[in-house]
Every structure is written in C-alpha cells, then in structure tokens.
Structure 1
Amino acid sequence: MFKTFLPLALGVVLAASPLALRAQGCSDAGFCTMGALKPDQPFNKKIEFRLRSMELTFYRGKTTLTPIVYVATADMNFSLNQKTSFQVKLPYQAVSGRLGNTSSLGDVSLCVTRSVFSNGIYDINVSVGGKIPMNHSDLDENGRPLPMYYQTSLGTYDGVMGISVISKKWLFATGIQHPFNRNKNQFLWSRWEGSGEDMNYIHRYSVANELRRGTDVMFRVERNIRFSRLNFTLGLLPIYRITHDYITLGTGERVAQEGSTGLALTALLTTGYSFNVQSGIKMLLGNKIVNRDPNTDGLKREFVSTLSYYYRF
C-alpha cells in the first residue's frame, strides 16, 4: 500500500509546485515525444523493450496570456518485429481563455522506429514519421478568428525524422520537424476591432494569418538515475527554428515574421515509478532557460505539468 501511495503523492506534490516553469516549441507540437526522440527512454537488457505498449498522458499548460491548454493523449506502440515498432499518438485538446473556449481532436502523430545497432552497452534507434492535422487551425469565436494559442491543431502536414543513442545512464537524440504547407488561420488584429475587447490585449497575440511555421531542429541530452522501481532524469532540450515563420498581412503581402528563428532552450526533469515490469507512472516538468519571440505558433507556455500512466503488454 505504502509503495503505491508514495509515487502518487510525489506526483501530486510536483504538480502543485509553484515553480515558474516555461516551455515552448515541443509542448504541444509533439515531435519531441515521437519515436527515438522521446524523453526518459528505458534501457534494460533483462526484458524485451520493444513490446506493445499504451501510455495515457494528461497535460496542462498555462500560457503567457490567459489561455490554459489541456491535452489528453493516447500513445500506442506496436511491435512490427524484434527491431521495428510503430507509434500512434491520438491527442484530445481543449483550450480555455479570455477570447473563447475550443476543444477537438488534436493532430495525429504516426512514427516508425527501428533499432539499427545494439551491443548490450548502447542502442542506436532511428525514427521516421509525420503529423496529420485534424483541422485547418481556423477555429473562431462568434465569427472572429482566434489566435494560435486557442487552436487545437497546427493545421499543417509535418514530416519528422530523428535518431537516438541510449545507454544505461545517458540518452542523446536529435531530430527535425518540417511543415509542408501553410495553415488557414485568419487571425489579424484588425478582425477584432469593434468586438468590445481591449485592443491592447489583442495586440499581445502574434498575427498568424495563413501561418507557415519554420523548420525546427531539436537536440536532447538526458542523464538517467535509476533505482529498482524509482527513476529520475535530468536533461536539456534545445530547439532551434532554422527558417522563418511566414504570415500574410491584411494587405495581402506575404512576409517573414521577424524574430521567429532562433533558439528555445528548456531544462527537463522527469520522475517515474514502476509498479512492475509492465506498468508505471511518469511525470515531466520543464523550465525554460531561453525563450524565442514572437510566439506566432502559440506554443509558448508559462507552466507545464505532464502526468502519464503506461502499460506494456
């Protein structure tokens, strides 16, 4: 009884922590949790790691403005053979804020991961996948287009590739996410004139009309500290946007969003508890070290907490 209660109590305490956490880039975009790019990947030669599994994740993110983002995700992994697995992520996202409330199925992630090298000391895995939008990122409130903070989809088809090296104590990973199209978001400041909202507040949201996000490159380094049932990881997650975001102004001119390239750096802490070899819980917290402005894609977060339950079949 005590062994079960201890990790649950730890999770509640961490979730309620008043730390000023900031996260951006991967909080909802999701490619940092696909295949070989996932955090806190186990390395255990006593059991077959690539078993079929399901993970249920509950996420709450407080943005830098009023919207609060909630996401519940079913993360399913299927073994195709001893070296290859297939991942499907199905998120349901809800947003509540001053300008409105939205909810729907979020972008679906599909990923194939293959072990290309394993010698008992470390593994090398590669992943190829993509994200499929569930809407055009054009949700509105009473006919007025909502900023990206309120959108439940990024509205783009994205390609993702990555590679990781995992040992008993360390995880190194790098990957790239590239959007292939612009979305159909229509948010311009002028479209909220006469709405009764304070226009100074409206101007705090980045214009995202027909947004095409830039390409992101991520790196992940983690140090794992593992005990028989309890584990911790400390890590860094730099994400660099190597190309500009593009938007369409009210005049119809297509322009690059100034300041949209550059580094977003996050320090990560995860903790997990295994009930047995098949199931357990995990929590992830991220502290922003470097921010990237402006926030055209609406992914910046002031506070993030994620709690997961996993089961391996």
Structure 2
Amino acid sequence: MPVELITQVSMVSKFPPFLILFFGCAFLFSTAIQAQGCSDAGVCTVHSFKPNGLDSISELSNQFKVGISYGSADNNISVFGSYLEYGRQFSEKFGIDARLTSLAQSGNDISTFGLSDIFLNSNYRISKKATLTIGFKIPLSDASKMEDGRALPMDYQSSLGTFDLLLGFGYFINKLHLVAAYQQPLTQNNNAFFAEDYPLGSPLRDFQSTNNYIRSGDILLRASYPIDLGQKFRLTPSLLPIYHLANDKYTDKDGMEIEIDGSQGLTLNGNLYLDYYLDEKQALQFNVGSPFIVREVRPDGLTRSFVASLEYRIRF
C-alpha cells in the first residue's frame, strides 16, 4: 500500500468513532427521508459558525468568497442559491464579514428569483480557542411575492423577510470545533398566502397558509472535525442540530391568530465539507448536507431534503 494512502487511512482512524457512525447512518439513510430536511434561516452559513472559523485569522487580512448552491425542496421545488461575501480582519482579535445572498425557486409551473438578505457580522477572538459573534440579517424582500394576483407561499419567497439578531460562541477542543448560536427575528414579514385562495386541483392548495406569518427563533449547535488528506485536501464532517423554539403562527380569514402545530422542534442534519487548496491564498470548498431527524411541519419554506454547494475563496 502506498505510504501516502497508509498515512491518510491512519488519520481517518483517529477520527472519533461515534461521529463516523453518526455520519455513516445519516448519509446511508438520507435518501429514504420523505419529509422536511436541512433548515437554514441564515445562521448556519455565517463564516465564524462554519467549520474552522478561526482559519481566517492569519497574516492576510482580507477574504473574498463566491458560492452557488442547489437544494431539493419539498413540494417538488428546486432551489438555486448564490452569494458574495467579504471579510476583513482588523486585528488578531477583531474582524467583520458581510454576505449578500440571492435565491431562485422553480416547481409546479412557478419560477421566482430575487435578492434575499444581507448578513453583517462582527467576530471577537476571546482566546486562541474561543470566538464571540454578533450580527444581523437584513432582508432585501418582505416575502410578499404574488402570482396572477394571489400571494405565493413562503416556499417561493427569496427571503424570510425578517430582520434577525444573530449571536454565537465557538470553541476548539484540539481539532474539534464546537459552535452554539441563536437566531431571533426582531421583525416579521408581509406574507399574505392563503392556500384556499387557489382553485381545487392546484398543488398550492396543499401548502401551509402563512398570512401575517410569525416565525419563531432558532438555536443551533454544530460539531465538526477536520481530517487533513495530504497538503491539498481537507475533509470535515459536521453534525448540525437546529431547534425551532416555538410553533410559528399565522392569521386566518376570520382574523384569528393560529398556531401551526408541529412547527416547533428539532432538525438534525449532517454536513460533509471537502476543501481543495489551490495555493496558500485560494481554495475551493464542496459541501453536501442532508437530514436524518426532522420536524413535522416547516411553513417557512426552508425545506431541504438535500443541499449541495460549491464555494471559491481567496485571501489577500
């Protein structure tokens, strides 16, 4: 067996066995899940909350990213996303990053596209092992898109339409990266979708009504562990539980505020990141994610049974 391959096998064997088992089960059975899956209201992709967030602290102060993603959503909807991100490290302890996102959805003879959100985050390095992050999600849409004079469900909106607070704490235990984060809407959107406004036989009759939609907050935990495969490649499995703190609500035709039963609860996702380092300044990252514990109902349109993304980043 070649020496390099022996070395790689040896490194993989040092990876915590419970995480290997966890991911093996997750990706083996993810294709059998026929329900709501990966859920990201934005906090999951914040730079300092992603695996190895402290990697950005180096002699190079600037970082630029561009990425695209594809997701398989519920109700036969395909979702295409893109983003641009810039990060600046002002000192060894303090940095900021900003991200602009967009989203396109297609399915059931409906296609939509629009700018989504701007994420502004500040990161403070407490120590070599710990960081604090505070940020905001600023919506570029109020989730009020319509089709033929009727409001569309959240599944076809490019943004949740909420202004959100983001808080997070990251900590390293040797190579294991742990993150705890909180995302709370401070405002709500202007969605006015009623499923009953659509004719019998329309697939949109089966969607959850979200008129005057009130979305609750989320708590996220992430555990990730990088495995270096030679000098050019890094493989990083990640476990991502997200707990939606309360049932969401909407207002019915009679003006009554209704709780959406089953919208509170846990989603547990698995992610696998593969980084390819082009040189000391540039890298490509491929990421694939899928769920294996899901919530019963997700009216926010964030349903993903599978998502994959490709990112290019450069430091300067």
Give the C-alpha shift of residue 66 in structure 1.
2.1
- Are the counterparts in 2 of residues 40 and 270 from structure 1 also a CA contact under 8 Å? no
Q: Distance in 1 between matches of 2:54 and 2:277?
A: 11
- Are the counterparts in 1 of residues 247 and 259 from structure 2 also a CA contact under 8 Å? yes
Aligned to 1:25: 39
The TM-score with structure 1 as length reference comes to: 0.86
The match for 2:305 among 282, 295, 302 is 302
Residue 125 of structure 1 aligns to which amino acid in structure 2?
T
Aligned to 1:283: 286
Aligned to 1:89: 99
Which secondary structure does the structure 2 equivalent of 1:107 belong to? strand
The match for 1:34 among 25, 34, 46 is 46
Give runs of aligned pairs for residues 1-313 of structure 1, distance below 5 A.
Answer: 20=31, 23-26=37-40, 29-41=41-53, 43=55, 48=58, 51-118=61-128, 123-166=129-172, 169-193=175-199, 198-199=201-202, 201-226=203-228, 227-313=230-316
- Are the counterparts in 2 of residues 263 and 290 from structure 1 also a CA contact under 8 Å? yes
Give the C-alpha shift of residue 130 in structure 1.
0.8
Q: Which range is displaced more, 82-91 or 93-102?
A: 93-102
Q: Distance in 1 between matches of 2:212 and 2:95?
A: 35
Which secondary structure does the structure 2 equivalent of 1:185 belong to? coil
**Unaligned 5+ runs, structure 2:** 1-29
Which secondary structure does the structure 1 equivalent of 2:76 belong to? coil
Q: Distance in 2 between matches of 1:145 and 1:264?
A: 28
Measured at CA, do residues 214 and 49 of structure 1 come closer, stay the same or move farther in structure 2, by a change above 3 Å? farther
Paired residue total: 285
- Are the counterparts in 2 of residues 279 and 312 from structure 1 also a CA contact under 8 Å? yes
- Are the counterparts in 1 of residues 235 and 272 from structure 2 also a CA contact under 8 Å? yes
Q: Distance in 1 between matches of 2:305 and 2:249?
A: 25
Q: Distance in 1 between matches of 2:54 and 2:91?
A: 19
- Are the counterparts in 1 of residues 82 and 102 from structure 2 also a CA contact under 8 Å? yes
The TM-score with structure 2 as length reference comes to: 0.85
Give the C-alpha shift of residue 107 in structure 1.
1.0
Q: Distance in 2 between matches of 1:151 and 1:184?
A: 11
Q: Which range is displaced more, 66-75 or 163-172?
A: 163-172
Deviations 1:222-254 (A, max 9, x none): 111013110001121000011221111121101
Q: Distance in 2 between matches of 1:205 and 1:168?
A: 46
Measured at CA, do residues 205 and 279 of structure 1 come closer, stay the same or move farther in structure 2, by a change above 3 Å? same
Q: Distance in 1 between matches of 2:63 and 2:312?
A: 11
Q: Distance in 2 between matches of 1:88 and 1:191?
A: 39
Aligned to 2:12: none
Residue 133 of structure 1 aligns to which amino acid in structure 2?
P
Q: Which range is displaced more, 133-142 or 62-71?
A: 62-71
Which secondary structure does the structure 2 equivalent of 1:190 belong to? helix
Deviations 1:241-299 (A, max 9, x none): 11221111121101221111110000111111001110010011112111112121010
Q: Distance in 2 between matches of 1:166 and 1:229?
A: 23
Residue 168 of structure 2 aligns to which amino acid in structure 1?
G
Q: Distance in 2 between matches of 1:88 and 1:25?
A: 21
Q: Distance in 2 between matches of 1:77 and 1:39?
A: 16
Give the C-alpha shift of residue 40 in structure 1.
4.4
**Unaligned 5+ runs, structure 1:** 1-18
Aligned to 1:8: none
Aligned to 2:16: none
Q: Distance in 2 between matches of 1:108 and 1:132?
A: 5
Instruction: Let me know the Cα RMSD of the aligned residues.
Output: 2.1
Runs of 4+ in 1 over 4 A off after TM superposition: none
Residue 174 of structure 1 aligns to which amino acid in structure 2?
A
